[in-house]
Amino acid sequence: MAEMITMDLVSPEKLLLSDEFEMVVLPGAEGDFGVLAGHSPLTSSLRPGVISIYEGDTEKERIFVNGGFAEVSNDKLTVLAEEAVYVADLDRGNLEQRIQNAREDEEDAKDDETRRRASENKDHLQQLLDAMM
């Protein structure tokens, strides 16, 4: 069995995941990068995208993160993300419906604040949808 790297995925509200994996591919700000056991210490910011967890050659888990940070030190990978969702938990139809709703909200918004919030919400949902492709 290959050497494993410990990964902690934390959001401000809770510790989402703490387990050992063979390889983790992260959406770094300057391009995707893979982390294997024995990676040199690294700190990187993340863009919104998908974290892929590999077991051997197969992709085991896909997690969407809405930006954040990753830190590698002593065979330990820590991902700080403000929001993280398993891609498998996303439902395409539901998501499209929510984007539609957000778009309508944006159009119907009476003041700048609600419009901004609706627009943010829409962009965010769009990113989630893109992640599913």
Partner 1 sequence: MANLKELKNRIGSVKSTQKITKAMKMVAAAKLRHAEEAANAARPYAERMDSMMASLASGMAGRDDAPKLLAGTGSDQRHLIIAATGERGLCGGFNNSIAKAVSQRVDKLVAAGKDVKILCVGKKGRDALKRKYGHLIIDLVDLSGSKRIGFNDAQPIVQRVLGMFDADEFDVCTIFYAKFVSVMTQEVQGQQVIPASIPESAATETNDVVYEYEPDEEEILAELLPRNLAVQIFRALLENAASEQGARMSAMENATRNAGEMIDKLTLQYNRERQAAITSELIEIISGAEAL
Q: Which residues are at the interface with partner 1 (CB under 8 A)?
A: 8, 10-15, 28-30, 33, 40-45, 69, 71, 73-74, 78, 80, 82
Q: Which is nearer to partner 1, 34 or 56 (CB)?
A: 34
Q: Which is nearer to partner 1, 33 or 54 (CB)?
A: 33
Euclidean distance between CA atoms 100 and 121, whole angstroms: 11
Reported as type and span, the H/E element at residue 104 is helix 92-108
**Tokens encoding 33:** 């990068």
Contact 22, 60 (CB under 8 A): no
Q: What is the nearest approach in angstroms of partner 1 to the Cβ of residue 104?
A: 21
Q: How many residues does the chain have?
A: 133
Q: Which is nearer to partner 1, 19 or 55 (CB)?
A: 19
Q: What is the nearest approach in angstroms of partner 1 to the Cβ of residue 92?
A: 24
Euclidean distance between CA atoms 103 and 99, whole angstroms: 6
Q: Which is nearer to partner 1, 13 or 89 (CB)?
A: 13
Q: What is the nearest approach in angstroms of partner 1 to the Cβ of residue 57?
A: 26
Pairing between strand 31-36 and 23-28? antiparallel
Q: What is the nearest approach in angstroms of partner 1 to the Cβ of residue 86?
A: 18
10 Å CB burial of residue 5 (0-12, 13-18, 19+) is buried
